[in-house]
Amino acid sequence: MLSRRHFLAASLTAAVTAHDRADAAAVLTDDGLYTEPWFLESFLELADDLAAAAGKNKRFAIIWGLRGCPYCKQTHLVNFAQPEIESFIKDRFEILQLNLIGSREVTDFDGEKLSEKAFARKYGVRAVPTFQFFPDSVAGLAAKPPREREVARAQGYIDPQPFLGLFRFVAERDYEKGRVLQLPQSDKLSRP
């Protein structure tokens, strides 16, 4: 049985030609999560991941998933499948996918090492999909309480156009301008 990391590495190798196609498909991993071939491969050292993203002039975000989650599946098979959305996000974000009940060890911005499940609990992530967005620098993050490390958060399935609007909101730093993004229905964007 392949680990998620080995499976994704093999998938990425096989998907090199698909990477350049607008219709590159989501992959169902051995742990039951849908993922994108262009998602961040990480050693789960969050400060390093954020710094690397900033070095590429990109933002760092985490998407939380769970085996069997119909809204996670829809996020991947509907939203990320749209070329405009995929292109916008790939060009401006490094996305790390974590499993809400996962056991992989994550090193938080404050140096604490914990399982994905414990990390989710620490940040109050209880629903999937949840998107956490972080600032473009690790400076001062370790000293803040977990939720105050985020610049924005959204949970639940979000239709494609508001979903793209969410990523634009963060990419353009609208939260720094005091703007609030209103998502339709029960979808909400919260700021810590």
pLDDT tens digits, one per residue of 47-76:
999 999 999 999 999 999 999 999 999 999
- Sign of the C-alpha dihedral, residues 82, 130, 18, 77? negative
138 domain-assigned: yes
Does 1 reside within a domain? no
Q: Domain for residue 66, yes or no?
A: yes
pTM above 0.85, yes or no: no
Does residue 62 belong to any structural domain of this protein? yes
What is the rounded CA–CA span in Å between residue 133 and residue 171? 10
| Cα distances (Å, whole numbers) of residue 173 to 18, 71, 84, 154, 191 | 31, 26, 20, 15, 12
Reading the block at residue 69, the tokens are 């989650």
Residue 75 lies in a domain: yes
pLDDT score for 70:
96
Which pairing describes strands 105-107 and 130-133: parallel, antiparallel, or unpaired?
unpaired
pLDDT tens for each residue of 115-144: 999 999 999 999 999 999 999 999 999 999
Domain hosting 116: range is 38-190
Residue 128 lies in a domain: yes
| Residue 127: closest CA among 39, 170, 187, 182 | 187
Number of domains in the chain: 1
User: What are the tens digits of pLDDT across the range 69-105?
Assistant: 999 999 999 999 999 999 999 999 999 999 999 999 9
Domain assignment present for 6 = no
Check which CATH number belongs to the domain holding 111 and give it: 3.40.30.10
Look at residue 53 and tell me if it is in a domain: yes
pLDDT of residue 152: 95
Query: SS in 3 state form for 6-69?
Result: HHHHHHHHHCHHHHCCCCCCCEECCCCCEECCCCCCCCCEHHHHHHHHHHCCCEEEEEEECCCC
